[in-house]
Structure 1
Amino acid sequence: MDVVDKFEVERTPKSILVVDDEAVIRDLCARALRGYRVLQATDGEEALRLFGKGGIDVILTDVMMPKLNGIDLLRRLKEIEPTLVVIVMTGYAEKEIILNALKADADDFITKPLNLLQLKTAVDKALDKKALKEEIANLKSMDRLKSNFLSLISHKFRTPLTTISLFLQNLASGVYDPQDPESRKNLELIYGQSCYLESLVTELLAFSRFMDAGERTHLEPCRLDEILRHLARTSKEAASKPDVETVFDLDPLPLLPLDREKITFALSQVINNAFKFCYDAGTVMISLKAEGEGCRIVVQDSGVGIPREELPKIFEKFYQVDPDGAGQIRGFGLGLFYAREFVKLHGGQITVDSEPGQWTRVVITLPRLGLAGEQPVYPAAASPL
């Protein structure tokens, strides 16, 4: 996000949803909250519908309303978004109502008849509280991700290191005969494990570099058809399955201004996964077509597929599809996460569809990027600058 985008976000007025079955109360709140974007709902059900559209920062709700009362609305909202700030307006001083609101995690109370200064102050405090809640939630999420990542690294490194350590112990003890086929087999195994360790370290360094780079991009003229052919022909996953047929259907599109490293990484993750999960005698099809003012890349394999319930998770950090349930899938589960981020940086989209036991299809669409040397056209929200 550039400086202009940040300024626009800061300048955009916060949205306050006022929920009350009395029009005079809603209008009074709207007048008191000038400078904010005020939406109104006559009952809890209408409030849920408006909240579902997104963009609500604070909710002011009455307690006694038809259809869905304020306490039940409060509970439903907190289930959907725990960091949401809800202020309860009530003309009732009953201890039970206040206790129920507190149990439902109400953030503040305003008594009726309303004091306009108190109302404005309460909303200002609520917005500060919401920002603090979101910051705490982000910190907790980062801490959880760090913990998960360290655990994952430990697990991924443990198996090859243990295998290599045992072999070296045997070698130190003299239990090795270069003429023995079994010893040579073990040596090949150790070499494979050391190569795997090297690949893990390379991945970690790449991910570290990507995290440091953030959303910065370096655009240069690229030919997508050449990149796709090169990735398929140099894929280690493809080399491990010589009987898998690779079918190309690539249109020679004009040179496109892309971040070569990032788009190559994204495409390599998709292509490697296609070969990795393809059946040993299957097919991987790779196509590139002009589509409207942009282009469309499709990578489809005839492989094990992905269960429907797992499709929404595959772009999450550290998530790995494990069709055999063995827990031995290589890598860190970050490839598709960064693939999606890098495609989004180019203003594009990446989607996955699959039929378990038959095929998986990944579709990447990129917007009109123009000829090399032209200024690329990116959607404003996905600007790479």
Structure 2
Amino acid sequence: MNPRPPPPEAGSTSIGQLLRRAFGWVVALVFLMGVAGLVATVPPFLAISTPLNDLLRTRSTSGVVRTLLFDGQQGLDGYLLTGQETDRASYLTARQDYPAAEAALRAVTIDSTRTLVETLATEAARWWALADQQIDSMPRAQPSSAEIAREREQFARVESAYRALDLRLVQQISEINRINNVLNAVALAMLAVTTALAGGFALRIGNAATRRITSPLAQVLEAVARLGRGEREVRVTLAGAPTEIEAVAAAVNTAAGEGDRERRTFDAFQEHSAAVRHHLSRGEAVAAAAQVLGDLLGADHVVIRLAPDPDGEFEPEIWSAAEATGDPTPLAGTPVDWDASQPGKAVVRDVQQAPPGPMTAALHAAAARRVIEVTFGEGGTATGQLTVVREPGRGTWRPYEVHLAGVFAADLARILTHAKLFEQAHELVARTREVDATKTELLWTVSHELRTPLTSVAGYLEVLIDREAGPLNAAQERMLGVIDQNVVRLRRLIEDLLMVSRIEAGRLSLSHHLLDLGALVRTACTEIKPAAHKAELTVTCDVDGSMTIRGDREHLDRMLLQLLANAVKFTRPGGTVTVAARISGPNAVLVVRDTGIGIPAPDMPHLFTRFFRATNAIRQAIPGTGLGLTIVSTVVEQHGGTVTIDSEEGAGTTATIVLPIAGPADDDATSAHRTDMHEYSSA
């Protein structure tokens, strides 16, 4: 039970009463300060506002007069200089607007500046007369220099009269502002005094309220701070405090107890949820989830029903506490409209207010009073429904318990998705391994089965070609030649299939001998030249002397012939195939470059994948199996080397093979009689 503060003493004052008294005095002080401010500021403002406004209006109106005079003068000068009608129009506009502006200035002027205004008007009238004469004489006759000089002298007198008027106005405005500043200073001083007095009185009111409120409130704040620092056992105990603060203390104690219980529940939730995630079977995950949720929430029953999926239907999972009395079995068997269900938040259902139906009857059978229900799933599709039952007399569901059930259900949806994916992946891996093993065995069997009859065909073909069975005419010789070529092609295909099957089965055997890579390269070039000649290609071979490596002659020969055969096959007539071998540091580097059709950039990452063929080779119907580079890369890797392919579609392909050369420790005399047989797996 949470500790509760003692009841308030008789005659204790509430915070509301204290604040009402304090605010009443503050309002009275504010009212008095406002009255004092009005008394201090309104009379001075009224005393100076009228003359100041008259001066400002006079100066503003005189500015309009000055602007029109200057517009007229600029229009006159422009017209005399250029003769443009736009300048004459500007002058006439200013001349037309000036009388009204002068009348407005006379109307607003004050007595102290009336003489200066009359002087300005007289000088302006004289200037307008001279200007009108010059405007009227144009364009018939240009005014003389003397006339222009008189006009400009007169305009200078106009400017002097305006400056005298403006100076007088500025002086009088400055004087009024000075008086206003003095009056403002006096008013501010009065306000400062009244404010200081009011502030002192308000401070005394605040101190009195503080002594009655802040001391017990500080105890509450200290307890809240300690709770925030993790001291979960702290509670507030007050005596004689205002009733509101005692109520706050009680609320803090209640919240501390609930928060402590909530933290413990969520800590346990994190621990048990992590344990549920370790289950990779959906059935085990659901069973563990039901038990965890029942223990965490203190439930009587937990029922989890999963929606059917292509893998089949799952039996509902039922968990019941040892002391539970109801029967949740009917609830587990109640059908769910999965098509209409959508994943959402956890909700609390009051069984007594539920409408009659199969679900309500099942809840009554489980002795349920209030239940938490949540439909969970991912991607907007419901995958299951969770129902947590608490029997009457066990208390209502707290908000954090409802929230925890929703979080747990969402977590369970992700766990079930991962478990399903794991089950599917496990099944897929098993099927893939089975298919791969069957395919490898099929390749091995078919290759061997084809090899035996092909040997017989090749033997009888050799007998016919050698004329041991009788003479041949020219047509028969050509036909036998075609058969011989296809037998050779089929034999190579079978050998490739056998080698791939050995690689995948881990039965590829290599013998390690000291070999001259340069001699192997020259031999391969010689063997490929007939095919290159037939394809109208030029083959060049550049080998740097002797390059001793340790390896298997048969497999290296096959690798070299695969590379050269690819270069010849994918190069158009008239092209070239260049073979170069050299020593670079501790390695022997072999480069095969052709000017063939090249390889599209998107196909480059897949070149060493078995049975893969470039898209342009397929489009051009160039025969092949897609096994050549797979064999090449495997042989090179098993010899401790690397192979890289650089190509540009339409420009050719370059294959670079790097193999380690034999070190000083390799001895010809001993190694010539040694054959090390190793088996390598495709991994």
**TM-score (norm: length of structure 1):** 0.52
Looking at structure 1, the residues matched to 498 and 441 of structure 2 have their Cα atoms a distance apart, in angstroms, of 18
Give the corresponding residue for 2:539.
Answer: 246
Alignment deviations for residues 296-336 of structure 1 (CA, whole Å, 9 cap, x no partner): 11100011101111111111111123535358544432221
Maintained 8 Å contact 1:346/1:384: no
Matched, 1:333 2:619: no
Task: Compute the displacement of 1:285 (Å).
Answer: 1.0
For the 8 Å contact 1:241–1:280, the answer to whether it is kept is no
CA deviation profile, 1:191-243 (whole Å, cap 9, x unmatched): 54444334433444454556667354211111111111111211277345453
> What residue identity is the alignment partner of 2:655?
V
- For residues 43-90 of structure 1, what are the alpha-carbon distances to aligned partners after superposition, in whole Å with 9 as ceiling and x for unaligned? xxxxxxxxxxxxxxxxxxxxxxxxxxxx99xxxxxxxxxxxxxxxxx9
Aligned to 2:583: 290
Cα separation, partners in 2 of 1:294 and 1:330, compared to 1, 3 Å: same
Pair 1:262 & 2:555 matched: yes
Distance 1:211 1:147 in 2: 10
Higher RCO, Cα 8 Å, sep 6+: 1
Q: How does 1:1-385 map to 2 (within 5 A)?
A: 94-103=408-417, 105-106=418-419, 136=430, 139=433, 142=436, 192-208=485-501, 214-235=507-528, 238-239=531-532, 241=534, 243-321=536-614, 323-326=616-619, 328-371=621-664, 372-373=666-667
**Structure-2 change in CA distance of 1:92 and 1:344 (3 Å):** farther
| Closer, same or farther: CA 297–325 of 1 in aligned 2, 3 Å | same
Contact 2:440 2:501 in 1 (8 A): no
Cα displacement (A) at 1:348? 1.0
The one-letter amino acid of 2:652's match is W
Q: Which residue of 1 aligns with 2:194?
A: none
Deviation at 1:339, TM superposition (A): 1.2
Whether the 8 Å contact between 2:535 and 2:568 is mirrored in structure 1 is no
Contact 1:248 1:286 in 2 (8 A): yes
**Kept in 1: contact 2:590–2:656 (CA 8 A):** yes
Q: Which consecutive residues of structure 1, in runs of 5 or more, have no partner in the other structure?
A: 1-21, 30-70, 73-89, 109-125, 157-177, 377-381
Q: Which amino acid aligns with 1:136?
A: A
Could you tell me how far apart the structure 2 residues matched to 1:143 and 1:237 are?
39
Partner of 2:510, secondary structure, is coil
Q: Within 2, Cα distance between the matches of 1:280 and 1:99?
A: 63
| Structure 2 Cα separation of the partners of residues 237 and 180 of structure 1 | 21
Number of equivalences: 254
Contact 1:278-1:303 at 8 Å conserved across structures: yes
The question of whether the paired residues in 1 share the 8 Å contact of 2:549 and 2:661 is answered with no
Structure with a larger share of its residues in helix: 2
Q: Give how far 1:365 is off.
A: 1.0
The AA in structure 2 aligned to 1:298 is: V
Match for residue 84 of structure 2? Answer: none
Q: Check whether the contact 1:304–1:357 (CA below 8 A) recurs between aligned residues.
A: yes
CA distance in 1, matches of 2:588, 2:601: 27
Whole-Å separation in 1 of the counterparts to 2:647 and 2:634: 21
Please provide the CA RMSD for this pair: 4.6
Percent identical pairs in the alignment equals 25
Q: Which residue of 2 aligns with 1:10?
A: none
Do 1:300 and 1:359's aligned partners in 2 also have CA atoms closer than 8 Å? yes
How far residue 359 of structure 1 moved from its aligned partner, in angstroms, is 1.2
Partner of 1:41: none
Letter matched to residue 582 of structure 2: K
Instruction: Quote the residue 1:63 is aligned against.
Output: none
SS in 1 for 2:616: coil
Partner AA of 1:226 in structure 2: A
CA distance 1:133–1:266, change in 2 (3 Å): farther
Distance across 2 between alignment mates of 1:240 and 1:266 = 21
Give the aligned residue type for 1:230.
T
Instruction: Provide the C-alpha distance between the structure 2 equivalents of 1:283 and 1:207, rounded to a whole number of angstroms.
Output: 30
- Quote how far apart the aligned CAs of 1:346 are: 1.4
Please state whether the residue corresponding to 1:99 is helix, strand or coil. helix
State the alpha-carbon separation in 2 of the partners of residues 216 and 147 from structure 1.
18
Q: Distance in 2 between matches of 1:327 and 1:302?
A: 16
The structure with the greater share of residues assigned to strand is 1
Do 1:322 and 1:329's aligned partners in 2 also have CA atoms closer than 8 Å? Answer: no
Q: Deviations over 1:158-179 (max 9, x none)?
A: xxxxxxxxxxxxxxxxxxxx99
Per the TM alignment, residue 132 of structure 1 is displaced from its structure 2 partner at its CA by: 6.2
Q: Label 1:194 to 1:290 Cα distance change in 2 as closer, same or farther (>3 A).
A: closer
CA change 1:91–1:368 in 2 (3 A) is farther
Unaligned runs of 5+ in 2: 1-266, 275-377, 380-403, 451-471, 672-677
